[in-house]
């Protein structure tokens, strides 16, 4: 079983209040030197069968139509080679 | 400016109802062959100054005390080399 990771992040031009809240809290907690924080979502998909180009194309379509809101979010799809090596 | 990515995922033994909801919705939407879905958080931190071992140790501490709830969540810290190469 292979693992495919889909990362979904707000587009750079979209305001990210969650990330801002984290960034503003950091100095109060003693952590300096972080200029910006963006918070997004990470999906780990366990894929049955081979992760070939066709499977990745389907996962790309799934991410585009379902996991991400492409009006405000960007996403990346990649195979988690570390998880593949373990299995 | 270097980017450090902190991925926060629920521990494998913790139930993930968000991920389950996604996984159960997929066949209805025409996507077969996904055995499991886990949903987590991804933080992108823009770090001022060099990302040396000391900086990574501080970010690790930040993730442990603030970004992740280590009772139920695991996290990983890594430098985003792609973002570094772009800048």
Task: Inform me whether the C-beta atom of residue A42 falls under 8 Å from chain B C-beta atoms.
Answer: yes
B34 contacts on A by Cβ (under 8 Å)? 45-48
Please judge whether A39 and B35 are an interchain contact, meaning their C-beta atoms are less than 8 angstroms apart: no
SS3 for A9-59, per residue?
EECCCCCCHHHHHHHHHHHHCCCCCEEEEEEEEEEEEEECCCCCHHHHHHH
Q: Which fold has domain B2-13+40-86?
A: Mth169; Chain: A , (3.30.1280)
Domain A2-14+40-86 in CATH 3.30.1280.10? The answer is yes
B49 contacts on A by Cβ (under 8 Å)? 33
CA–CA dist A58, A71 (Å, integer): 20
Please judge whether B43 and A42 are an interchain contact, meaning their C-beta atoms are less than 8 angstroms apart: no
Residues A18-46 as b/e (b if ≥16 CB within 10 A, e otherwise) read: ebeebbeebeeeebeebebbbbbbbbbbb
ipTM of the complex: 0.90
Which of A22, A45, A65 lies closest to B43 in CB terms?
A22
The mean pLDDT value for A24-43 works out to: 94
B46 contacts on A by Cβ (under 8 Å)? 34-37
The mean pLDDT value for A4-26 works out to: 96
The mean pLDDT value for A73-87 works out to: 81
- Write down the pLDDT at residue B77: 97
Which of A34, A41, A48 lies closest to B39 in CB terms?
A41
* CA distances (Å), origin A69, targets A11, A65, A73, B3: 10, 7, 5, 24
- Write down the pLDDT at residue A84: 58
- Write down the pLDDT at residue A82: 72
The mean pLDDT value for B43-52 works out to: 94
pLDDT in tens, B16-41: 999 999 999 999 988 999 999 999 99
Which of A31, A38, A43 lies closest to B37 in CB terms?
A43
Mean pLDDT for chain B overall: 92
Range of lowest pLDDT (A66-70, B28-32, B44-48): B28-32
CB pairs under 8 A between A and B: 98
- DSSP string of B62-82? HIIIII--TTTEEEEEEE-HH
- Write down the pLDDT at residue A1: 84
Confidence of residue B9 (pLDDT cuts 50, 70, 90): very high
Give the single-character DSSP code of B10: E
- HSE-CB at B70 with a 13 A cutoff on CA atoms is 9
């Amino acid at each position: 079983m292979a693992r495919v990771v889909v990362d979904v992040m707000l587009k750079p031009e979209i305001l990210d209040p969650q990330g801002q809240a984290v960034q503003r809290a950091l100095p109060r907690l003693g952590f300096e030197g972080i200029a910006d924080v963006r918070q997004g979502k990470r999906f780990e998909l366990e894929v049955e069968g081979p992760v070939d180009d066709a499977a990745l194309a389907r996962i790309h379509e799934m991410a585009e139509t379902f996991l991400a809101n492409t009006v405000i979010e960007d996403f990346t799809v990649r195979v988690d080679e570390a998880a593949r090596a373990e299995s």
